[in-house]
Amino acid sequence: MSIKKRVLLGTLGIGALLTAFSCNQTDGVGDPCVPESELDPTKNGFAIDEVSVEARSVQCASRLCLVNHFQGRVSCPLGQTAGDGTCLVPGTTEPVTVDVKAWDLDRPADTAVYCSCRCDGPDANARYCDCPDGFSCQPLIDDYGMGQQGLVGSYCVRDGTVYSPTQAGGPTCADMPDDPACAP
């Protein structure tokens, strides 16, 4: 085999390896994730009127776990009163020690907590993703001048799940525990 062919084959082989080991930012968008804050038994979870972004999430190929207007803890759909032992730290038998609100049926975990990516923002030089089918680019985090420039902007959100404040305060999984939306 000529040197030219060996160099070409070597170059193609390296290119194939780089392609195989690189990760597109939209890989895994929509995959479920449990925010790392749930490993703390003293955290009661999230509030339906807030958005949280866990950057560098090892659970997500995109490295971003989005909590988009979700109430409670992903690992505890029915919620609990402090100390009753209903909620456990994910992957352990350690009880959560604080009150945890039950999931709001209008915003269950599968529609409000999942791997995502930032698709738009104020930095013209930043890398943004293209949302995959079934997702749209929605503005979620405003710039309040608090040094979070890397998080400010829009994220890929499941189609049909854009939050409306009228969704807050509806029935919860504690009210309707047999509802299929209440399965963790």
Q: In 3-state terms, what secondary structure has residue 114?
A: strand
pLDDT of residue 148: 65
Strand order in the sheet with 113-115: 51-55, 64-68, 113-115
pLDDT of residue 183: 84
10-residue averages of pLDDT along the chain (184 residues): 40 35 65 96 96 93 96 97 92 96 96 97 92 97 73 95 90 96 86
pLDDT of residue 112: 97
Residue 71 CB burial class (10 angstroms; 0-12, 13-18, ≥19): buried
Instruction: Show the CA angle centred on residue 181, arms to residues 162 and 71, nearest 5°.
Output: 55
pLDDT of residue 83: 82
pLDDT of residue 27: 79
* Domain extent listing, the chain: 24-184
Q: Encode pLDDT of 71-113 as tens digits.
A: 999 999 999 999 898 999 999 999 999 999 999 999 999 999 9
Torsion of CA 81, 84, 90, 93, to 10 degrees: 170
pLDDT of residue 45: 95
Residues contacting 97, CB < 8 A, separation 6+: 41, 42, 82, 83
